[in-house]
Amino acid sequence: MKQESLDKIKILNTYIKEAEHIVFFGGAGVSTESGIPDFRSASGIYTQNLRAEEIVSHDYFFYDTKGFYKFYKEKMVFLDAKPNPCHLKLAEIEKSGKDITVVTQNIDNLHQLAGSKNVVQIHGTIEKNHCLKCGESYSVNDVMESGLVPVCPKCGGIIKPDVVLYQESLHEEDITKALEAISKADLLIVGGTSLKVYPAASFLYYYHGKRKVIINLNDNPLSDYLYINEKIGEVFSMIKI
């Protein structure tokens, strides 16, 4: 690792130790080291399939539910994935007594598996699913073990993942939690996100503190942030609480 990066990680470590209210705002790049592909890198889901954004849209779900679920099960659900050093260190920071909120755009459950309790999943989660007809809840295993299209055994309705698809609005409760945490934070750490997805990217405008860090391997869309150009798992593996 470059000496410049090592010096910046030391600064980040100091920031974390001195902060009273931390927000970690993460995207798909947080989970790539756990074997989950991101969306917009050279090998990302959207780069490899130019129709991907269309397929994971609200309209497409109802237009071609079989096609949606084929893509969803193959490309977006990774039940064998394990938390990487970033997930684990964030959980450790919380366990140490720090006030830290994880605001994630990811729909996997890796932050919770690592032990984090204060997590806001603004794009929903694969873990929760519901019948569109009767509202009955189902697990991700129920969905993955079903046929081509998961249907409710109670009423025969289609089961839909509780993830926010394109054309759908974020849940107001999640927006409120995220913005409240960001607005009161004195340290904002942004990791593994291109910040090209709105309205999520606009949440950063609510941060009023001075200490701002971005950890991203591909590019830096935030010129006024302390930029660490390294793998996020490697960076957090070097943080000492």
Q: Is the pLDDT of residue 151 over 60?
A: yes
Marked catalytic residue, from 21, 111, 123, 130: 123
Q: Is the pLDDT of residue 35 over 80?
A: yes
- Checking 176-184 for CB contacts under 8 A at 24+ apart, the result is 177/101, 177/120, 178/101, 178/103, 178/120, 178/122, 178/203, 179/203, 179/206, 181/21, 181/23, 181/101, 181/103, 181/120, 182/23, 182/25, 182/103, 182/206, 182/207, 183/207, 183/208, 184/21
Is position 105 within any domain?
A: yes
Q: What is the pLDDT of residues 124-140, one digit of tens each?
A: 999 999 999 999 999 99
Which CATH number do you get for residue 210?
3.40.50.1220
Q: How far is CA 4 from the centre of its chain?
A: 27
pLDDT band at 70 (very low <50, low <70, confident <90, very high): very high
Secondary structure (3-state) at 51:
coil
Is position 232 within any domain?
A: yes
Q: What pLDDT shows up at residue 197? A: 78
Q: What pLDDT shows up at residue 194? A: 82
Is position 46 within any domain?
A: no
Q: How many domains does the chain have?
A: 1
In the predicted model, what is the mean pLDDT of the chain? 93
Among 5-19, 66-80, 94-108, 220-234, the minimum mean pLDDT is found in: 220-234
Is position 160 within any domain?
A: no
Structural domain including 227 reads 1-36+82-123+169-241
Considering the entire predicted model, what is its pTM? 0.92
Active site residue 171: no
